[in-house]
Amino acid sequence: MPTALTNTNYNFPGQTDVYHGKVRDVYTIAPDTLVMIATDRISAFDVVLPKGIPYKGQVLNEIAGYFLDATADIVPNWKLASPDPMATVGLQCTGFRVEMIIRGYLAGSAWRDYQAGCREICGVKLPEGMCENQAFPEPIITPTTKADAGHDENISAEEIVSRGLVSAEDYAVIERYTRLLFERGQKMAAEKGLILVDTKYEFGKHNGKIYLIDEIHTPDSSRYFYADGYRERLEKGLPQRQLSKEFVRQWLIDRGFMGREGQQVPEMTDEFVASVTDRYIELYEQLTGRSFVRADQSDLENRIAVNVLDCLQNINR
C-alpha cells in the first residue's frame, strides 16, 4: 500500500499555533500567515476514520487550488501559494463561525431529513412531492454552525444574525458570494460532464475585508453527479452515479455506522482503502481535465517541510 499521511507535527519558523482538524493541519505563522496541510485523513459523520487514504490530501489540495484560482475574480481568497502538492500557504483570516452550505438538489442528509417528514431546513421551506436527487426550483442555502468538536448544527440566516455570529451586512455579502461561487462551480462541472449537486463555503475577514477561506469544490466539501444518465436514473428511481464522499458514508451506513454513540467503525480493508483512493483520483481528473500525477512519497514529511520552509522564506523577504 502507498503511504498515507495521517499526522503532522512541524515547528516552522515564526510558528505561534497549530490546529489539527478532522482532515487538515493548520499552522499559524506570525504575523498573519497560515500553512494548511491537507492530510490523508478521512472523516464521515464528524468522525475521523481509523485509516488514511493515500493521495487524498494531494487530490484535495490541488482541486482546492484549481478552484480558488478559477474563482478569484468573484471573491478574494486566502491563498498565496501552493508550495507542495499537499500544502497551501495563505493569509490568516478571522473565520465566521458558520459554514455556508448551498444545495441545488435534494440529496444526502437533506434527502434523509425530507424522507423522515422534514419540510423545512434552516428556515427554507421545501416543496411537497419531491424525490431523491431532484433539482430544487432554485438552489437553497442551508447554513450550519461551525463546531470545534462534535456535530455542526443547522441554523437559519435569521438566527445567524440574531445570535451575532455574522452581522446582517456581512451575511448579505457572503450569501451573495455563495450563490455566485455555486453558479461558477456548476458551470465548470457541466463543462466536464458533471453536476455540482451541493457544496459548502467558508469565509473570513482580514483587515475588514471578506475573503473566501479553506477548500472549495473538493470531494470532501461537495457532491457531484455524472450528467450522463442523470435524467433516466431520476425517472426510474435509481441511485445516481456520483463522485463525492457520499459513497464512503453509504458504505458506513450499509455496515451499521452513522457516528452514533456505541457504534463501531467497520473494518477498512486494504481493498476498500485503495478503492477510495481511486475514486478521489477519478474526481480530480474528471473535474480538472488533467492527469493526476502521484507525488513522490519516498520522504513525504520531509518533502513537505522543505517546500513549505522555502515558501515562507520567500514570503517573508
Please provide the average confidence, as pLDDT, over all residues in the chain: 94
Q: Which residue has the higher pLDDT, 135 or 298?
A: 135
pLDDT higher than threshold 80 for residue 267:
yes
Q: Residue 116 burial (CB < 10 Å; 0-12/13-18/19+)?
A: exposed
Given the DSSP bridges, would you call strands 15-20 and 24-29 parallel, antiparallel or unpaired?
antiparallel
User: Domains of the chain by range and CATH?
Assistant: 15-93+269-315 (3.30.200.20), 95-244 (3.30.470.20)
Which of these, 173, 174, 189, 258, lies nearest to 226 by C-alpha position?
189
Query: What's residue 183's pLDDT?
Result: 98
Q: Which residue has the higher pLDDT, 246 or 311?
A: 311
Percent share of the chain, pLDDT over 70: 98
pLDDT tier, 268 (very low <50, low <70, confident <90, very high otherwise): very high
pLDDT higher than threshold 60 for residue 150:
no
Which of these, 140, 200, 214, 205, lies nearest to 167 by C-alpha position?
205
Those residues whose C-beta lies under 8 Å from the C-beta of residue 177, and which sit 6 or more positions away, are 74, 75, 201, 203, 210, 212
SS3 string, 146-178, reads: CCCCCCCCECCHHHHHHCCCCCHHHHHHHHHHH
pLDDT tier, 148 (very low <50, low <70, confident <90, very high otherwise): low
pLDDT higher than threshold 90 for residue 240:
yes
- Strands (E) located in the chain: 15-20, 24-29, 33-38, 43-44, 47-48, 79-84, 87-91, 94-95, 98-105, 120-121, 124-125, 135-141, 144-145, 194-206, 209-213, 222-226, 242-244
Query: CA-CA distance, 240 to 111, in Å (whole number)?
Result: 13
pLDDT tier, 315 (very low <50, low <70, confident <90, very high otherwise): confident
Is 165 in contact with 59 (CB distance < 8 Å)? no
Query: CA-CA distance, 82 to 79, in Å (whole number)?
Result: 8
Query: What's residue 177's pLDDT?
Result: 98
Query: CA-CA distance, 35 to 26, in Å (whole number)?
Result: 6
Mean pLDDT of 229-244: 93
Rounded to a whole number of angstroms, the distance between the first and last alpha carbons of the chain is 40
pLDDT higher than threshold 70 for residue 21:
yes
pLDDT higher than threshold 70 for residue 149:
no
Residues paired with residue 194 on neighbouring β-strands, in sequence order: 226
Using DSSP, state whether 137 is helix, strand or coil.
strand
Query: CA-CA distance, 105 to 78, in Å (whole number)?
Result: 29
Query: What's residue 49's pLDDT?
Result: 95
pLDDT higher than threshold 70 for residue 82:
yes
Those residues whose C-beta lies under 8 Å from the C-beta of residue 102, and which sit 6 or more positions away, are 139, 140, 141, 142, 178, 179, 182, 198, 199, 200, 201
pTM, two decimals, is 0.89
**DSSP summary character for residue 258:** S
Residue pointed to by grid coordinates 442551508: 142
Mean pLDDT of 132-155: 87
Query: What's residue 106's pLDDT?
Result: 97
Query: What's residue 314's pLDDT?
Result: 87
Query: What's residue 95's pLDDT?
Result: 95
In tens, the pLDDT along 24-64 reads 999 999 999 999 999 999 999 889 999 999 999 999 999 99
Is 106 in contact with 130 (CB distance < 8 Å)? yes
